[in-house]
Amino acid sequence: MRDVLLVRYGEVFLKGANRPHFLKVLVDNVRKAVKPVNGHVWMSDGRIYVSDFDDLDECIRRVTKVFGLYSVSPAVEMEKDLDAIGERCAMLMQGVTGTFKVYARRSDKTFPLNSQELAAELGGRILDKNPQLTVDVHHPEHRVDVEIRDNAYVYAGEIMAVGGMPMGTGGRAALLLSGGIDSPVAGYQLMKRGVRCCAIHFQSPPYTGELARDKVLQLANKLAEYAGSMRVYMVPFTHCQLEIHEKCPEGLGTLITRRFMMRIAERIAQSYGAQALITGESLGQVASQTMEALLCTDAVVEMPVFRPLIGLDKTEIMAIAEKIDTYETSILPYEDCCTVFTPRHPVTRPKKKTMPEAERKLDIEALVNEAVENTEVVIVP
């Protein structure tokens, strides 16, 4: 008898002929996640199992953050002995009041009782030892699960995981990570679809300081809990912003700044092997996020730009930020480069054909090269 985690996967089940590849990646990701707690991982009969861990709670926390998993149940693995299974079920329900139901699944067809017979037998044994309980097969307050596979597994309770697709099965992308609420959520949403991400952050010292830098690295660390690690590119952006502020029409300053960010991000993304860029823009949220402005922004890059938050409102985005534990960090009051030189009256309906003239006085290639060449790379955690 030993403690194990019984781990269920979700959407991977639908992958048909490609399922073995997705499962291999998923099991490898679980192994990486539980390595710090010395967990042993194996797969058998449609389930992933983790055993021999040093810390149960920490192991559960790590496993539930692995993309591609549906849920986790702390279970006891034991021999397929009916008396021992009955004793364990009765023990699980000690001190519990109300109604219950036993859910039994028999994968091993050599076991003498079928699933329905096993559930009835174990329910009777639980009642014998716990007379304070009653059975309710339709709407039970509590449940006991028993699975008969290569061994017997007994558990009560299921902890939901993050779902999605296994990290690394959806390609690579580069996330433009600001210090705000939206961009970490956008990164999470694409990572949940199996996309491995690097992060690109634009910093403008002395207008942005060390606290703003630390804040962004904290956000990257939060995302890295789901990815294992993350490469963060810290781009020096002060010179670009000063040139834009001095030489470009004020109302287009924010939009031109965004166009430079996209140019620089694409260059860095290519070096990372990324196939797309990710931003946290939501349609109409600010002046630079109107449909016309986004069209002008995307015009300077060839890579596709993914905007997973494009149709969400701020309340919906904040709810996800709270769920993934980035919200409190995102609202720390430290300036980021997007708030530097903000125009008083930004243009909200820019025309793509006018943008080259607005940037005419800038040496675009030199500014992009300078920023890329002086970018610092930080690996988190």
Beta bridge partners of 199: 175, 232
Order of strands across the sheet that contains 172-176: 305-306, 276-278, 172-176, 196-203, 230-236, 376-380
| Residue 14 DSSP label | G
Q: With CA atoms as reference, report the closest residue to 229 among 253, 197, 185.
A: 197
User: Could you give the 3-state DSSP secondary structure of residue 99?
Assistant: strand
Beta bridge partners of 297: none
State how far the Cα of 367 lies from the Cα of 158, in Å rounded to an integer.
53
Alpha-carbon torsion (217, 219, 222, 227), positive or negative: negative
Placement of tokens 């091993």 in the chain: 108
State how far the Cα of 269 lies from the Cα of 116, in Å rounded to an integer.
55
Q: What residues contact residue 73 under an 8 Å CB cut-off, 6+ apart?
A: 5, 6, 8, 145, 155, 157, 158, 159
Q: With CA atoms as reference, report the closest residue to 199 among 174, 225, 222, 224.
A: 174
Taking only the tens of pLDDT, the chain with its 381 residues reads 899 999 999 888 777 788 889 999 999 999 999 999 999 999 988 889 999 999 999 999 999 999 999 999 999 999 999 999 999 999 999 989 999 999 999 999 999 999 999 999 999 999 999 999 999 999 999 999 999 999 999 999 899 999 999 999 999 999 999 989 999 999 999 999 999 999 999 999 888 888 999 999 999 999 999 988 999 999 999 999 999 999 998 889 889 999 999 999 999 999 999 999 999 999 988 777 889 999 999 999 999 999 999 999 999 999 999 999 999 999 988 776 666 667 777 787 888 899 999 999 999 999 999 999 999 999 998
